[in-house]
Amino acid sequence: MSEFTNQNQFTPSTVTPQENPSGFSFENVHRNAMIEQMSKKAAVGTNAPVGYLPQATKTGTTIVGLVYKGGVVLGADTRATGGSEVADKNCEKIHFLAPNIYCCGAGTAADTEKTTEIISSQLELLRMNTGGAQSRIVTACTLLKRMLFRYQGHVSAALVL
């Protein structure tokens, strides 16, 4: 993030990477310190109190995918909203694509559901044509990105594959 870089401060290029990085990463510590300094300077010229920090923006859906040594974990919330109102408290946001592939979806519920349904059927047809072999992740990713690109942003689906 260029607005948080300072030539006199820490930059990622000055750090030598570890051979096998493990554990929690503290690389945002310097960014957070820079935000705090900026907020103290901004408070002097505004009505904001000293130490004012920017607030997190609530954007709606929470989806996450974590990779670990033995596989992948997908997680999602279950609430669907229509504007500021909760439309459905039990919305499925983890979608089946193939026996070995699932994805998390955010955006318009109908778009994510239909998109994953279409990709799932295309993967099933491909498995039938290739003798029943497992679907490849790269194939699902390619089908998804081609479909989303074809509609040039008119399909409101954000997917974690």
Residues labelled catalytic: 61
Q: What's the helix, strand, coil split of the chain in %, to 5?
A: 35, 20, 40
The C-alpha atoms of residue 106 and residue 80 are separated, in whole angstroms, by 9
Token pair of 155, please? Answer: 């399909």
The C-alpha atoms of residue 123 and residue 128 are separated, in whole angstroms, by 9
Cα–Cα distances (Å) from 74 to 62, 71, 78, 90, 99, in that order, read 11, 10, 13, 17, 15
DSSP letter assigned to residue 91: -
